Homo-oligomer: A and B are copies of this chain.
């Protein structure tokens, strides 16, 4: 059994969070991470900016601890990268890793989420 690899990001503040290496990201885990409305919204927001967003900019209708939980599920399943910059925890979509592993998957999920949002808005 190969030694478990950890993908840690260097952090100016000395703190780092565990991320799966690209080779350890699993489709089932990614789909699980994306199967929640809040987490799907986070991923849509990150995809829209194509960069990093501070946790604090996400205005989710859930508690702070629940928001933290959702980010952790996304990070632990390889969907987002979280890096401390000073006191801020910055988040970015691991789009290159996901695209390399599962070509077209994230794009089709984002398109599906957008189409569904439009449909639900039209129906309400």
Main secondary structure of the interface of A (DSSP, over half): helix
Within 8 A of B (CB), among A34-71: 34-37, 40
Contacts of A32 in B (CB 8 A): 31-32, 35
A121 surroundings in chain B (CB, below 8 A) = none
CB-CB under 8 A from A107, the residues of chain B are 104, 108
Q: Verify if A111 is at the interface (C-beta below 8 Å from B).
A: yes
B contact residues around A17 at 8 Å (CB)? none
Shortest Cβ gap from A20 to chain B (Å): 14
Instruction: Report yes or no: B101 in contact with A27, Cβ–Cβ below 8 A.
Output: no
CB-CB contacts below 8 Å: A1-53 with B: 26-29, 31-32, 34-37, 40
| Option from B34, B105, B115 in Cβ contact (under 8 Å) with A112 | B105
In the bound complex, CA of A13 to CA of B26 (Å)? 41
Looking at the assembled complex, report how far the CB atom of A62 sits from the nearest CB atom of chain B, in whole angstroms. Answer: 15
